[in-house]
């Protein structure tokens, strides 16, 4: 579920997606999957499962795409 009134807002996919967008906006073109996880995990302490769910959501809405070899490319 993307939106729920029963969870903490900092655990929401929308919030975490915004944080990931902030990180990749500062990257030149693409970032490694695990490097991005290390950066978001250092400030938000999210699990790998929630990280992957957030990336899936960002991919579905067209914000990011897989550029191959484990790299994530921004689409903005």
Res 28: pLDDT: 87
* Residue 45's pLDDT band (cuts 50, 70, 90): confident
Per the prediction, the chain carries an average pLDDT of 88
All domains of the chain, ordered by start, with CATH?
9-74 (1.10.10)
Res 70: pLDDT: 85
Name the E strands within the chain.
30-32, 64-68, 71-74
Determine the straight-line distance between the first and last CA of the chain, rounded to whole angstroms: 25
Closest CA to 16 of 61, 64, 55, 48: 55
Averaged pLDDT, 26-53: 93
| Strand, helix or coil for residue 65 | strand
25: Cβ–Cβ under 8 A, 6 or more apart, which residues?
74, 76
pLDDT over 90 at 22, yes or no: yes
């Amino acid at each position: 579920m993307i939106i729920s009134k029963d969870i903490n807002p900092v655990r929401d996919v929308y919030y975490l997606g915004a944080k990931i967008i902030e990180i990749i906006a500062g990257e030149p073109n693409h970032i490694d999957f695990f490097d991005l996880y290390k950066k978001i995990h250092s400030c938000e302490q999210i699990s790998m499962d929630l990280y992957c769910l957030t990336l899936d959501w960002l991919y579905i809405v067209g914000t990011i795409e897989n550029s191959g070899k484990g790299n994530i490319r921004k689409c903005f």
